[in-house]
Amino acid sequence: MKQWVIEAKNDWLHSFMVYLVWARMIWLRQLAYRFNSFFSSLGSIFWLAGSLLTLNLIFGKVHSLAGWDWQSMLVLYGVYNLWWGIMVAFFNGGLAISSRVRMGSLDKIMLWPGKVFFYASMKFEPELLTHFLFGLIVLIAALIRSGLSISISNLGPFIILMINSWLLIFFISVIFGATAFWFIENSHLTNLFWVWESLAKYPRQFFIHYKLLYLAVYTILPVVFIAVVPAEVLLSRSNWFLVAGSFLVTLIAAFLAKTIWRLGLKRYSGVSI
């Protein structure tokens, strides 16, 4: 048992070292095309500013929506972009499994030493970290303006919940991407993924009048655990039942992702080895 643990640890460590080398190559490629990275980041800033302006226009007409005022919505907006920036830069690589299956590049990955599951879903897009930086700035500004006192009692759980939400989206992206083992074309499912994750920017109370959707955002499409629950912890309005549910949902997603991945590999006959 001890030997198995050591071998598994070394296997994951080797896989991570391979990822660092791969990410360094991508970073160097980005540096070679600095104008491309600059305009990509600039486009992200304009998109983020437009979303913030829309939010400002809405709350210029109303004081609060479903119990969320301007300051609390800014906190949620900051948390969502904080999460989204890291997610699109690192954690939604599971969607790439579909193209790797169809194009046959998964064949080469399967020959690499280490964790094929990790390699097939790894991702690094540094220019998208603009969203993370923007979200962090908005979040800090919103917390300062609202006068909320942040202590270790809510900052600690917030950080843990954010890490959990990134893991959750990773496993869910694997579930969506691995459907390529059964479908010739699964772009409709990846499009559904993006529609689904966009719901994470809205407070859970917004869905309360739509019973099926309200149930779905807690279960089938558990978007409330991505940004809303961490934001509620920062705002000291946390529901600890939902906090515990966040970790349970991630464990279920991890189990489903690994199971679907293994079943898919059994169906995969290879293309170009």
User: What string of pLDDT tens digits covers the 273 residues of the chain?
Assistant: 555 445 445 665 666 677 777 777 777 777 777 776 677 777 777 777 887 888 778 777 788 788 888 888 889 999 998 898 888 888 777 788 887 887 777 777 777 666 777 777 777 777 778 888 888 888 888 888 877 777 777 888 999 999 999 999 889 888 888 888 888 777 777 788 888 888 888 888 888 888 888 888 888 888 899 999 999 998 888 788 889 999 999 999 999 998 998 898 888 776 554
Any domain includes 128:
yes
Closest C-alpha to 170, from 243, 264, 69, 258? 258
pLDDT recorded at residue 273: 44
Compute the distance between CA of residue 227 and CA of residue 90 in angstroms, rounded to an integer: 17
pLDDT attached to residue 209: 82
Does residue 272 form part of some domain? no
The tally of domains found in the chain comes to 1
Cβ(227)–Cβ(87) below 8 Å: no
> Which domain covers residue 212, as residue numbers?
2-267
Q: Do 90 and 22 contact (CB within 8 A), yes or no?
A: no
Residue 146 lies in a domain: yes
Q: What is the rounded end-to-end Cα distance, in angstroms, of the chain? A: 34
Contact 83, 165 (CB under 8 A): yes
- Predicted confidence at residue 61, as pLDDT, reads 79
| pLDDT on residue 159 | 92
Is the residue at 273 inside a domain?
no
Q: Residue 155's pLDDT is what?
A: 86
Q: What are the percentages of helix, strand and coil residues in the chain, rounded to 5?
A: 80, 0, 20
Which sign does the torsion angle of CA 263, 176, 113, 12 carry?
Answer: negative
Name the helix (H) or strand (E) containing 65. Answer: strand 64-65
Within-domain flag for 172: yes
